[in-house]
Amino acid sequence: MSESKATGRTNGGARREATGQTDGTAHAAADTGKGRLYGVGLGPGDPSLMTVRAVQVIADADVIAYHSARHGRSIARSIAAEHLRADHIEEALVYPVTTEGTDHPGGYRGALEEFYTDAAARLAAHLDAGRTVAVLAEGDPLFYGSYMHMHKRLADRYPTEVVPGVTSVSAAAARLGTPLAEAEEVLTILPGTLPEEELTARLAGTDAAVVMKLGRTFPTVRRAMERSGRLADAHYVERATMSGERTGRLADTDPESVPYFSVAVLPSRLSDAVRSGGADGGERDRATGTGTGTGTGTGEVVVVGTGPAGPLWLTPETRGALAAADELVGYTTYLDRVPVRHGQRRHGSDNRVESERAEFALELARRGARVAVVSGGDPGVFAMATAVLEVAAQDTYRDVPVRVLPGVTAANAAAARAGAPLGHDYAALSLSDRLKPWEVIERRLHAAAAADLALALYNPGSRSRGWQVGKARELLLEHRAPDTPVVLARDVGGPEESVRTVRLADLDPAEVDMRTILLIGSSQTRTTRRADDTEWVWTPRHYPDAPST
């Protein structure tokens, strides 16, 4: 930086007066004698995509600052080059490291922290002298941008304006020519530096996604796409709108050729391009999601658990399977928990036709559809997984792929609300005698109670049958003390949630219905009244006379 450049320019406030700019913050800068800080978004790379405001700010600035690696070449400066003048003061903010290898005593983070502090001090010196400073940023300044580190250190001390820019996310979607998200779809932006397990879970659970910061992370991102079942729909975009731009299928991209300035894109699931093979060609079977097909190949049945209530209880894997399905099959009450999606067909039925529902779902899959059978709680606990697998064992459906995805079961949800009543050994039983005789239920209750197991009792009662709860109470009192804690949990996670604890002797069958689950304590289960007057129910993990370890 030459002295003539540093001293030979009018400050930003004077320049704004000359050009007629009269925004309120400009006056603030003039009043304080301090310069004004701008974070200037330049867009994804093509200079013609800079906003009018970005060009105006650069023209009006005294100081132009930009980040670069140690080689000194700055992408941000190259984008704005045609708008720079010979009398601009230029501040090149050169990163000391670009990878995590460094001999700095504070490591990689320490080296960057020191760099940001020093860079902010350099810019502060100009601002204190009354100069206007424009920090150039590719894309948008506050979207994974280097500018934000200057903003956090300076914006509370100087008048500041951030000029937004077109992000690489928008540019990538535009170059692919496919919508990112439609209707109620959720778009997720992910850094490729996340751990593979985290990437996999988030990709499985979202509708559309863009993964930033590829380069060395590309193999991890590709594996996460494959593990989440999304690789067939994933696109690759490199240097969108810039020289050397490249697009294609992520699955076909050579990992060794991937630079940092590239993104992976999962477009809208509702996009016709995704359903038919994507912007870069290659038809895909709408039903199976893979390969070239006519729509008549074998689909898949995925049995999913929605948990005891709504979306808060869904796992990412379940959320993704529901979004990817062509057909949803289930008990109408459970289907109502699943958001309506354009293009999906929903087949609701009564709760007493499990076998018919399973056969219907398998037949749809046999004809080439992706089918999600929707179950409450966990599909493998007194729910639809068994019914589907039983029908799938028939010769007609042996070739239909079936997967079962776990869900939060009612017993675990209720136990968490109450504390930890199932913290030691426990048994889960259904009191419904619709599919097994009461004599069997009675024998199992006796056995579990005699073994001093805590109990989770599903389907305890309904309008048509209320006597089972009373009979179960009588039987259990033969083995348990009258003051044994019993948790009555109704509509856990729902709008009418009620969780309370009573003594076993005081359990009233009239207060129990099909939306209630009962958790019966063992001889060791305890209750604790907390300082806020809430009550916890818990069963110790140790047992009397257990050998010490």
Render pLDDT for 311-367 as a digit per residue (tens, 0 to 9). Answer: 888 888 898 899 889 999 999 988 988 888 888 999 998 877 889 999 999 999 999
Residue 281: the pLDDT is: 38
294 compared with 371, residue with greater pLDDT: 371
Residue 282: the pLDDT is: 36
**Span of 111-125, 271-285, 363-377 with lowest mean pLDDT:** 271-285
Render pLDDT for 428-455 as a digit per residue (tens, 0 to 9). Answer: 999 998 889 999 999 999 999 999 999 9
Residue 435: the pLDDT is: 86
Looking at 278-427, list the stretches that DSSP marks H as alpha helix, in order from N- to C-terminal side: 316-324, 332-335, 354-366, 384-392, 410-418
Distance CA(404)–CA(422), nearest Å, equals: 24
At residue 282, the 3 state secondary structure works out as coil
Residue 7: the pLDDT is: 37
Establish whether domains 169-276 and 300-405 are of one fold: no
Residue 434: the pLDDT is: 85
Average pLDDT value for the chain: 87
pLDDT at 283 over 50: no
Q: How confident is the model at residue 183 (pLDDT cuts 50, 70, 90)?
A: confident
Tell me how far CA of residue 38 lies from CA of 64, 186, 314, 352, 391, in angstroms.
10, 32, 43, 65, 66
Q: Of 183, 232, 227, 515, which is closest to residue 339 (Cα–Cα)?
A: 183
Beta bridge partners of 429: 457
Q: How confident is the model at residue 461 (pLDDT cuts 50, 70, 90)?
A: confident
pTM over 0.85, yes/no = no
Share of the chain above pLDDT 90, in %: 70
Tell me how far CA of residue 444 lies from CA of 5, 449, 471, 545, in angstroms.
90, 8, 13, 26
Tell me how far CA of residue 368 lies from CA of 288, 317, 371, in angstroms.
7, 21, 9
Residue 313: the pLDDT is: 86
Residues 185-189: contacts with CB within 8 Å, 24+ apart?
A: 185/268, 185/269, 185/270
Q: How much is the average pLDDT of 231-251?
A: 95
Distance CA(284)–CA(272), nearest Å, equals: 11
Q: How much is the average pLDDT of 405-412?
A: 94
Distance CA(289)–CA(296), nearest Å, equals: 12
Share of the chain above pLDDT 70, in %: 86
Strands (DSSP E) found in 400-532: 402-405, 419-420, 426-430, 454-458, 485-490, 498-503, 516-520, 526-529
Render pLDDT for 6-23 as a digit per residue (tens, 0 to 9). Answer: 433 444 444 443 333 434
- Which strand (E) or helix (H) includes residue 303? strand 300-305
- Indicate the class that CATH gives domain 3-166: alpha beta
Count of residues making up the chain: 549
Residue 11: the pLDDT is: 46
Sheet holding 485-490, edge to edge: 426-430, 454-458, 516-520, 485-490, 498-503
Residue 271: the pLDDT is: 67
406 contacts 380 by C-beta, under 8 angstroms:
yes
Looking at 400-501, list the stretches that DSSP marks H as alpha helix, in order from N- to C-terminal side: 410-418, 438-450, 467-477
- Which architecture, in CATH terms, is 300-405? 3-Layer(aba) Sandwich (3.40)
Distance CA(234)–CA(253), nearest Å, equals: 11
Task: Among 3.40.50.80, 3.40.470.10, 3.40.50.620, 3.30.950.10, name the CATH number for the domain at 169-276.
Answer: 3.30.950.10
At residue 463, the 3 state secondary structure works out as coil
Distance CA(28)–CA(34), nearest Å, equals: 9
Distance CA(61)–CA(53), nearest Å, equals: 12
196 compared with 313, residue with greater pLDDT: 196
Task: Among 3.30.950.10, 3.40.190.10, 2.160.10.10, 3.40.50.300, name the CATH number for the domain at 411-538.
Answer: 3.30.950.10
Q: How many C-beta neighbours within 10 Å does residue 93 have?
A: 23
487 contacts 530 by C-beta, under 8 angstroms:
no
Distance CA(204)–CA(65), nearest Å, equals: 40
Distance CA(180)–CA(362), nearest Å, equals: 32
Q: How confident is the model at residue 52 (pLDDT cuts 50, 70, 90)?
A: very high
476 contacts 520 by C-beta, under 8 angstroms:
yes
Burial 485-500 (b: 16+ CB within 10 A, else e): bbbbbbebbeeebebe
Render pLDDT for 379-402 as a digit per residue (tens, 0 to 9). Answer: 999 999 999 999 999 999 999 999
Residue 82: the pLDDT is: 96
Residue 4: the pLDDT is: 35
Domains of the chain, residue spans:
3-166, 169-276, 300-405, 411-538
Tokens of 528: 């604790």
Residue 65: the pLDDT is: 98
Distance CA(16)–CA(61), nearest Å, equals: 9
Distance CA(366)–CA(396), nearest Å, equals: 9
pLDDT at 473 over 90: yes
Give the single-character DSSP code of 232: G
Distance CA(117)–CA(149), nearest Å, equals: 9
Distance CA(505)–CA(487), nearest Å, equals: 13
Tell me how far CA of residue 103 lies from CA of 93, 95, 106, 112, 114, in angstroms.
20, 14, 8, 12, 13
Strands (DSSP E) found in 110-227: 133-137, 160-163, 187-191, 208-212
468 contacts 434 by C-beta, under 8 angstroms:
no
Give the single-character DSSP code of 307: B
Residue 108: the pLDDT is: 73
Residue 533: the pLDDT is: 85
Place of tokens 């105006």: 56
Distance CA(427)–CA(436), nearest Å, equals: 17
Between the two ends of the chain, the Cα-to-Cα distance in Å is: 71
Q: Of 317, 324, 252, which is closest to residue 288 (Cα–Cα)?
A: 324
